């Protein structure tokens, strides 16, 4: 499958967006009082958000790779 260069660039930008935006949200999640219970153990809030963030970043990285491969040929 061949992808036009403008679409490949959009994929790269979308992937970079995910890689750059989600770590800031991760910092907020880790600082939140909802992230740990009174014993210091991780709560469901932290676990769910860590899974969401890691999945989004993996998809972002995959999107970057697909965009670069489409751009290079």
What Cα–Cα distance (Å) separates residue 8 from each residue in 21, 29, 42, 64? 20, 32, 39, 9
Residue 2 has a pLDDT of 83
Query: Model confidence over 11-54: pLDDT tens digits?
Result: 999 999 999 999 999 999 999 999 999 999 999 999 999 999 99
Task: Give the CA-trace dihedral at 44, 35, 23, 9, to 10 degrees.
Answer: 30
Residue 46 has a pLDDT of 97
Residues 6+ positions from 50 with CB-CB distance below 8 Å: 26, 29
pLDDT average, residue stretch 54-64 = 97
Tokens read off for 20:
């750059």
Q: How confident is the model at residue 70 (pLDDT cuts 50, 70, 90)?
A: very high
Global pTM reads: 0.86
User: How far is C-alpha 19 from the geometric centre of its chain's CA atoms?
Assistant: 5
Residue 1 has a pLDDT of 64
């Amino acid at each position: 499958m061949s992808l036009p260069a403008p679409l490949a660039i959009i994929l790269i930008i979308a992937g970079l967006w995910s890689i750059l935006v989600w770590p800031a949200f991760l910092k907020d999640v880790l600082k939140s009082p909802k992230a740990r219970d009174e014993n210091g153990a991780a709560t469901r809030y932290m676990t769910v958000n860590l899974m969401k963030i890691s999945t989004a970043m993996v998809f972002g990285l995959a999107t970057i790779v697909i965009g670069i491969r489409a751009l290079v040929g």
